[in-house]
Structure 1
């Protein structure tokens, strides 16, 4: 089992999920954003960039049966400032993964995508066959990567599942609205809210990890939403975090960025029906675990 982006926030949780189910894992990460310390010491680890040809040697040496491809550039803001690097990481990285997976007879690829491919849809909840209309270069890079996945399956029979994640959150996350709120609250600073009426569909990272495993063992291929299927405003998220931490600080309100999606909620019925997966954490439970991990770190 090869996991790319394995030392990242989502990747390290996926690695742990696989280990918990007795799978042998090979971890690959260029450590540009990830940390090797997130991974168990006994996991075979390669510091390598999936966009470089050096990864061909790793496929050849390790001969994995499956690939879970999570390595990516994930910042919408960074994609707008540096679209070439975003394309290199997300499109070329995926293309290399597919190329080597096909070359070395991988049984199945699990490819991470995003709700950002939809832009601002008009019908909710969003279904997997809804129109793709990205508002950022990040979203566009994910659409382009998905097209390569579809064509590799059509032309070469490379089996794959594309998992479009909604807004993932969890412990040890370094970006995202929930980690931003908590970081500022614990430092006694006012959280920054851009408008606040925009909605998101938050999914706990451990549920994402279990979804990757479910997709891997399933005979199904195609596109699946990995989401809670629940819509919540950013203002409501802040109220929940403030209540859970018992810290009340009046937030700073700013205007919403033009590339920001105004409303997002993804139907997860297809994944429930075909992958036999469902989220196990409510928003309250997930945030509770995140806060608990913050408190543990504070007392170390």
Structure 2
């Protein structure tokens, strides 16, 4: 039986594919390649297409014996989601609806969902608990929450069990050096900082230094992408064991400010990395740090690449060896 990985040519998805390959799983990848990279898919069977294309998805399910899905495919830029929310609802929410309907049609009843801590909005507590209220402050987080709610009702109606993994700020690169982070445009802090270190941009922009944090810049919880990939594999195992649907946070439980990240990157790279303070971005909470105690207890998840210096160093190794990324977009 195969695991279908949607968005498996993307950053986190490709690392999940790598983790599945390491344990000998049969893998089917679906990716439009609008944001993903063919070179990032280290194995398995790749289908290039869109979840919203019914005939295309029929082919995927008919040609493969799929017993579980890991769903990464989505637009994921906070700022962009505030400008074009319709695009996010159509791709994220409607795309997920199409996927769930195909799963129901073909009798596939297990899905692991790549969600986000942006579902919480401004947190009531730090670290965030899975039972804290969910009031997203941006359209991206709102669509991810809508996707989770949709899965709940497909479970009620059709018995499709889901595990939703809420996290943010994936960083780092695979220890093999074969895959890393390559977005166009790049919006994630650590690769942008490293681009500045490589001289590919004149400075790093810091969006707001007047937040209610010790140094005025936003605080986030950074997780090595391979640790995130491991959690998705463990979630598949849990669903295969007959577990009920659940939501889990994934985090290191420690936050770092934007200025702290830049400082560590300067130390790792030995580069100056100029910094410019700019206006806040809409929809950015001041602090997002997640408690992952439930995931550790129930999934057996034990992230072991959790030092930010090591995470940044692994990213730096990949970016400095691949300054143009995968260089596959013509």
TM class by shorter chain equals over 0.9
Aligned to 1:271: 295
Aligned to 2:263: 239
Q: Within 5 Å, give how 1:252-291 maps onto structure 2.
A: 252-281=276-305, 282-291=307-316
Of the three residues 128, 133, 137, the one matched with 1:131 is: 133
TM-score (norm 1): 0.95
Do the aligned residues in 1 keep the contact of 2:262 with 2:273 (CA within 8 Å)?
Answer: no
- Measured against aligned partners, the alpha-carbon deviations of 1:121-174 in whole angstroms (never above 9, x if no partner) come to 121111111111111111110111110011111111111101112211123322
Q: CA deviation at 1:99?
A: 1.3
Do the aligned residues in 2 keep the contact of 1:166 with 1:225 (CA within 8 Å)?
Answer: no
Do the aligned residues in 2 keep the contact of 1:8 with 1:33 (CA within 8 Å)?
Answer: yes
Aligned to 1:52: 53
When the two structures are aligned, how many residues end up with a matched partner?
299
Secondary structure at 2:118 match in 1:
helix
Aligned to 1:210: 230
Distance 2:323 2:88 in 1: 34
Which range is displaced more, 161-170 or 270-279?
161-170
Distance 1:2 1:27 in 2: 6
- CA RMSD of the aligned region, Å? 1.6
Structure 1 unaligned spans of 5+: none
Q: CA deviation at 1:60?
A: 2.0
- Measured against aligned partners, the alpha-carbon deviations of 1:246-268 in whole angstroms (never above 9, x if no partner) come to 11233101121231111100100
Q: CA deviation at 1:29?
A: 0.2
Distance 2:168 2:303 in 1: 12
Do the aligned residues in 2 keep the contact of 1:185 with 1:191 (CA within 8 Å)?
Answer: no
- Measured against aligned partners, the alpha-carbon deviations of 1:61-111 in whole angstroms (never above 9, x if no partner) come to 212011001000011122112111111111011112211112212241101
Q: Which has the higher contact order (CA 8 A, sep 6+)?
A: 2
Of the three residues 175, 178, 190, the one matched with 2:203 is: 190
Structure 2 unaligned spans of 5+: 174-179, 210-216, 326-330
Distance 1:136 1:73 in 2: 13
- Measured against aligned partners, the alpha-carbon deviations of 1:17-68 in whole angstroms (never above 9, x if no partner) come to 100010010111001100111113x521100101221212211221201100
Of the three residues 3, 6, 9, the one matched with 1:7 is: 9
Which range is displaced more, 7-16 or 196-205?
196-205
Secondary structure at 1:238 match in 2:
helix
